[in-house]
Structure 1
Amino acid sequence: MAATPLLLALDQGTSSSRAALFDNQGRLIAQASAPLAIHYPADGWVEQDPEAIWGSQRQAMAQLEARLTPEQRKNIVGCGITNQRETTVLWRRSDGIPCGPALVWQDGRTADLCQQWKAQGLEADWRQRTGLLLDPYFSASKVQWLLGHEAAATAAAEHDDLCFGTVESWLLWKLTAGQRHCSDMSNASRTLLMDLEKRQWVDRFCEQIGLPHSALPELVPCRGDFGVIAPDLPFAGVPIRALLGDQQAATLGQLCLKPGEAKCTYGTGAFLVVNTGTELRRSDDGLLTTLGWTDAKGNPTYCLEGSLFNAGTVVQWLRDGLGLINNAAEINDLAESVNSSGGVMLVPAFTGWGTPHWDPSARGLLIGLTRDSSRGHIARAALEGIALSVANLVCLAEQAIGHSLGELAVDGGAAASNPLLEAQANSTGLQVRRPANLESTARGVALLAGVQAGVIDDLQDLVATRSQGAELFTPTMDAGQRQRWQSRWDNAVKRSLHWSDGDQA
């Protein structure tokens, strides 16, 4: 009997790095993870150490490799890399040393810069070319800030020794010992520097932020041959065959392959992604147009996306900030200890709002407290706040595509919460499908690597596996209740907007 080919996925996230092994049917064989610190040096600032990002990923790789048999190790035919997107790294080409911290996608320190660009009338052109808005979320303003505030970055640029990349680019550089400096089109589409239709870097936008053309990574399709893992690293010699941003990877991992199919991932943030096929759909309501993935020739599948900056961080705050729970799983029992939130609402805008408000000055809000409010009410309000935020994205997406999504596939760590998914079904009116394995992000990039390696003929052949072991959550709330709930939520959200910019008393 022929050995089953295996696929390695490196999944570098905001709070941890993971390494996972799948077979060519997308079944998880083994996995390992390593934590990653996040630093908050000032209000709205979120950064990480680039070397810590790499060290965390290497640690997860080493742990996974140690758990495998020699036979499993021998049968690995390819590796895929997926990553937290928008997070921005600058380093020196000559020695690979970072030129300052990695500015994380949540970082809002460039809000004033983005506002200046808007005041100069630049947003319409940027939005038309890239599908994105002028917001600190994306990489462009982060690059300009680093070039203006980190002496090492300024010097490297002056000496033509600078490399720019998002996290997949940084990891590929480290994995290949500096042999490859590339960015795939899914990640590049989140930088504000790539033309969505032409799938090329926009020179004018790079000039706007002061980024030398020589610092740009080679722009490549999402699957291809991207070198091999260097000799002194875990999984040495394994060919790297796929690069994909984490939300696009999760969409593939959920096998949302047809236009109109959608998934929501609940990780550090929450991200709704709707497949729009080869059609580049645009939204006037704050949804983003983005590149989902490409084939080996660069032919694209596009998506609409809604982005929330805080989801899993809400649970972490209840645990680490308030001490309301001892571990993340406790929030479910606590939420289920009450029949409702008792009128309490928690708006999770800790680091500003993404879709649809795009307000970096928004802040979190806990409202509706009475003397009878309990830990259970706050826990339930926290989960409902995540669900209601996503429900707003679903409504906007359905308006943009002109029909109901019908079903919402979900994944990510917080999707293990039954109360959250019950609230998600009720707040959207959709059936919510939770797969047996929540690691859809790693699975998606592994499957793409498998197609490139020739061990998967067509991802469509795997669609029948979506229902295996899946759990379904159906709405129990009528339309009138849902509308009143959403209206009350919208009122709470409005109160959170512009909080830190002095517009609120």
Structure 2
Amino acid sequence: MSSYVGALDQGTTSTRFILFSPDGKPVASHQIEFTQIYPHPGWVEHDPEELVSSCLECMSSVAKEMRTQGIKVADVKAIGITNQRETTVLWDIETGQPLYNAIVWSDARTGDTVKKLEAQPGADEIPKLCGLPLSTYFAGVKVRWILDNVKEARECYDRGKLAFSTIDSWLLYNLTGGLNGGAHITDTSNASRSMFMNIETLKYDEKLIKFFGVEKLILPKIVSSAEVYGRIGTGPFANIPLAGCLGDQSAALVGQKAFEPGQAKNTYGTGCFLLYNAGEKPIISNNGLLTTVGYHFKGQKPVYALEGSISVAGSCIKWLRDNIGLIESSEQIGELASQVDDSAGVVFVTALSGLFAPYWRTDARGTILGLTQFTTKAHICRAALEATCFQTRAILDAMAKDSGKPFTKLRVDGGMTNSDIAMQIQADILGIEVERPAMRETTALGAAIAAGFAVGVWKSIEDLKDINTEGMTEFASKTNEEERAAMMKQWNRGIERAVGWLE
């Protein structure tokens, strides 16, 4: 009997369910996009109910595909979950119903909330306690905004019935039964993005809870990233164990098999997220990076990561396609960028919702500089790709300072890595080798690995050594140090002009 493992990957713009074979190869999958809600400039929301229904739809479609391949549901030993992190749902514990749309991680409405929190006594202590700066990015700030601005949520909170979930927790609750015994839980990798958990004890911290003023909030129980949490309560996979849970960037770290301290990966999705395996002790950054939980398998010590986050990566390509009409398809950006040797002096600071690491400037906005009569849309497309690559370089430089170790290789995955030109630009800006696997669903693979470990499909990291090693592509840098320094100098001039736009 074969032992398959499923992975439910609930991302920022789409949901997918992928079934993996014991050798880590995808054998069936289904993906659907869901509604992006933009009520005001800088605001991004999702319908929490639609997120759940999108998961169920993807799972049902894969079940049908399995039948055509002769794969039995009983051969699926476990299902893991990976998810967009920080996106926040507040719901009524008595009804199981959300009281507001999910506020997405990239939503920038909470700038004033951040300023108020920064002015509170004890604000300087927060990064040391939870590993995160006060920013529009993280869940705790979004919770505070909802309590201050949504009457229905505030009334529920005052009654002591308001529950908090990030998307992993919301899905786990609903998939394990909801009001009929659903588990209100979250794993350590997701809890480390809430601003409520102490980064060293991995428990909720009274100082943090009090700082955000959420003493009555019902928080999910913190569990490990690999254990059996319960069983699927409905649909074709009913009674299959839910057994792994990792925030999407932690899942990609696991999927890239970056299990050794010093190994790093970069995921180019809606945003861009670079994680560095820091080992069993947290490193508090002095250079604008985040301290987070990489993964925490049951019965083992947690593994920490340093993280650099770029708020806009693939979403800029979508913006160029849908809002501006510069391209007709996402693939076209690479085709156009490859038509020119450089951006002809154009710098595109893609701060469409501010700048994340290592700058942390919520007052920055998207800025295109260096336009001339010579500029074509090919130059702008190339500058858009370069923007993500320059920000990745800034993060890697910060990581090298924090860790004391220079990088020799970067493992990559995510949608933008399908573009050879984007990855060659990345190698040229970094001056190191960029390594891309043939199978790029590493986020889903990471969730599957966590679930597989929990139920014994894989017993050890050694069992994974041959997974996703075929067809690796390596991009070598074609630039010298002087050229790279000149490129970064021009990029930094662009940053100087993009910040301070909002008063």
Q: TM-score, normalised by structure 1?
A: 0.96
Structure 2 unaligned spans of 5+: none
User: Among residues 263, 269, 272, which one is paired with 1:270 in the alignment?
Assistant: 272
**Structure 1 residue 464: deviation in Å?**
4.3
- Tell me the SS of whatever aligns to 1:31: strand
| Paired position in structure 1 for 2:32 | 34
**Structure 1 residue 430: deviation in Å?**
1.3
CA distance in 2, matches of 1:464, 1:229: 30
Q: Which amino acid is 1:187 matched to?
A: N
| Paired position in structure 1 for 2:157 | 157
**Structure 1 residue 121: deviation in Å?**
4.5
CA distance in 2, matches of 1:95, 1:67: 35
CA distance in 2, matches of 1:437, 1:270: 18
CA distance in 2, matches of 1:378, 1:115: 34
| Contact 1:6-1:72 within 8 A present in 2 as well | no
| Paired position in structure 2 for 1:348 | 350
| Paired position in structure 2 for 1:219 | 222
- Tell me the SS of whatever aligns to 1:264: strand
| Contact 1:223-1:294 within 8 A present in 2 as well | yes
- Tell me the SS of whatever aligns to 1:397: helix
**Structure 1 residue 339: deviation in Å?**
1.7
| Paired position in structure 1 for 2:202 | 199
| Paired position in structure 2 for 1:100 | 100
CA distance in 2, matches of 1:234, 1:405: 45
**Structure 1 residue 310: deviation in Å?**
0.3
**Structure 1 residue 332: deviation in Å?**
1.2
CA distance in 1, matches of 2:246, 2:440: 18
Moved more, 24-33 or 125-134: 24-33
**Structure 1 residue 59: deviation in Å?**
1.7
Q: Which amino acid is 1:221 matched to?
A: S
| Contact 2:24-2:468 within 8 A present in 1 as well | no
| Paired position in structure 2 for 1:5 | 3
1:14 and 2:12 matched: yes
**Structure 1 residue 307: deviation in Å?**
0.4
| Paired position in structure 2 for 1:422 | 424
Q: Which amino acid is 1:452 matched to?
A: A
CA distance in 1, matches of 2:461, 2:349: 38
| Contact 1:221-1:298 within 8 A present in 2 as well | no
**Structure 1 residue 482: deviation in Å?**
0.3
| Contact 1:206-1:213 within 8 A present in 2 as well | no
| Paired position in structure 2 for 1:359 | 361
Q: Which amino acid is 2:73 matched to?
A: R
**Structure 1 residue 359: deviation in Å?**
1.3
Counting matched residue pairs gives: 498
Q: Which amino acid is 2:100 matched to?
A: G
CA distance in 2, matches of 1:235, 1:450: 16
| Paired position in structure 1 for 2:146 | 146
| Paired position in structure 1 for 2:176 | 176
| Contact 1:220-1:298 within 8 A present in 2 as well | no
| Contact 2:31-2:58 within 8 A present in 1 as well | yes
Tell me: CA distance 1:298–1:214, structure 2 relative to 1, closer, same or farther (3 Å). farther
**Structure 1 residue 124: deviation in Å?**
2.5
**Structure 1 residue 209: deviation in Å?**
2.6
**Structure 1 residue 481: deviation in Å?**
0.2
1:64 and 2:66 matched: no
**Structure 1 residue 460: deviation in Å?**
3.4
- Tell me the SS of whatever aligns to 1:215: coil
Runs of 4+ in 1 over 4 A off after TM superposition: none
**1:96-495 matches, cutoff 5 A:** 96-178=96-178, 179-213=182-216, 215-230=218-233, 232-297=234-299, 299-495=301-497
CA distance in 2, matches of 1:72, 1:380: 47
CA distance in 1, matches of 2:174, 2:467: 35
| Contact 1:193-1:205 within 8 A present in 2 as well | yes
CA distance in 2, matches of 1:462, 1:227: 25
Q: TM-score, normalised by structure 2?
A: 0.97
Moved more, 71-80 or 458-467: 458-467
**Structure 1 residue 298: deviation in Å?**
6.0
Q: Which amino acid is 2:183 matched to?
A: R
CA distance in 2, matches of 1:440, 1:366: 33
Structure 1 unaligned spans of 5+: none
CA distance in 1, matches of 2:122, 2:174: 35
- How much is the aligned-residue C-alpha RMSD, in angstroms? 1.3
Cα shift readout 1:135-157 (whole Å, capped 9, x = no counterpart): 11001111111112222211221
Cα shift readout 1:284-323 (whole Å, capped 9, x = no counterpart): 1110011111121362000000000000011101111121
CA distance in 2, matches of 1:345, 1:463: 41
Moved more, 216-225 or 250-259: 216-225
Cα shift readout 1:384-415 (whole Å, capped 9, x = no counterpart): 11111111111111111112221101001111
Cα shift readout 1:100-151 (whole Å, capped 9, x = no counterpart): 1111101121112212222234332111111110111001111111112222
CA distance in 1, matches of 2:462, 2:107: 37
| Contact 1:90-1:100 within 8 A present in 2 as well | yes
**Structure 1 residue 211: deviation in Å?**
2.2
CA distance in 1, matches of 2:267, 2:317: 15
